[in-house]
Structure 1
């Protein structure tokens, strides 16, 4: 813990940025490794699941331990074993799409043993960018998990190592929530990547 606090102070001094994150946020980020499914060890179709991270334009959703903001993303680049943030797209001429849709607008989400991790994002493009930063990622499933939070605008972003189709969509919600409501899935889309992330 002492190392993390020192690391935070040095990082803020070197980058000149304000420390709007705590030593705890860095400690949490450093635990996001492949071994614990990048902070989401329980898949989104099992009871007790929770997203491991949030990548978007903020503010961070309630209960998220790791908000991948710009400064934290720079710091994580120093640690090869943990989750890295997406890189900005290169400034080159447009290329053919990297992802091909395999299904759209379903009311069930993907459930498969090739699960890697999941978190929350603002857009489908954000989820695809996260897949580009996770080794072995081949497929993304984005969807709204409507679970008593007044219809959050964030998308659930689940990453997998296998390219999947709607035949894998058997997570249709139906779980009781703390407020007594039952969750349900909307806008479930699947995208297969042409080449797995190295």
Structure 2
């Protein structure tokens, strides 16, 4: 059975404090939510170092970028909470400690343990995203700079710990407006296992 016919556009969404409320979602919104799964790299099947890439989601308190379909606001997150694959970060979630692997590089990480990427307003939001994706133990943030680029940080998540030696994506891609991108302010963090 096709996913969009399985769910009605009118859905009951469970919330943590107010019980259950009804929300009206379009078939497109439900399909977008369903695309946030591991098989589709949580909406970003093409990693940022390959041509044709697009961020899979936006998480933050600023203005959502134009052209990003998976905006992780409270209503959309309520829909995601009833689906099995992807859940928005929770404010009350106590994250693991993270250790900085590198900072201030002009290249982003490129690795086969790639899970997904999206856009965040601050580096800490990328850590929250890593906490919410099963198997994520490393995140890389940077600014992807080009004429009409996103002002937010690119947030890329990985399943293994990386080092500055993995920072091989330095930009150089021609953008639709004709400009060539470059990377600045690249930082990498790995999940630290607490010692007893």
Instruction: Give me the TM-score of the superposition, normalised by structure 1.
Output: 0.85
Map of 1:83 onto structure 2: 86
Cα distance between partner residues in 2 of 1:50 and 1:148: 16
What is the root-mean-square deviation of aligned Cα atoms in Å? 2.1
Give the number of equivalent residue pairs. Answer: 184
Structure 1 position 22, deviation (Å): 4.1
**Unmatched runs of 5 consecutive residues or more in structure 2:** 15-19
Structure 1 position 16, deviation (Å): 6.3
Residue number among 23, 26, 32 corresponding to 2:36 in the alignment: 32
Cα distance between partner residues in 2 of 1:36 and 1:156: 18
Matches within 5 A, 1:170-181: 170-181=168-179
Structure 1 position 79, deviation (Å): 1.4
Instruction: Give me the TM-score of the superposition, normalised by structure 2.
Output: 0.86
**Unmatched runs of 5 consecutive residues or more in structure 1:** none
Cα distance between partner residues in 2 of 1:90 and 1:45: 31
The structure carrying a bigger helix percent of its residues is 1
Structure 1 position 88, deviation (Å): 1.1
Q: Do the aligned residues in 2 keep the contact of 1:85 with 1:133 (CA within 8 Å)?
A: yes
Residue number among 163, 166, 173 corresponding to 2:164 in the alignment: 166
**Cα distance 1:155–1:6, how it changes in 2: closer, same or farther (>3 A)?**
same
Map of 2:54 onto structure 1: 50
Cα distance between partner residues in 2 of 1:16 and 1:77: 14
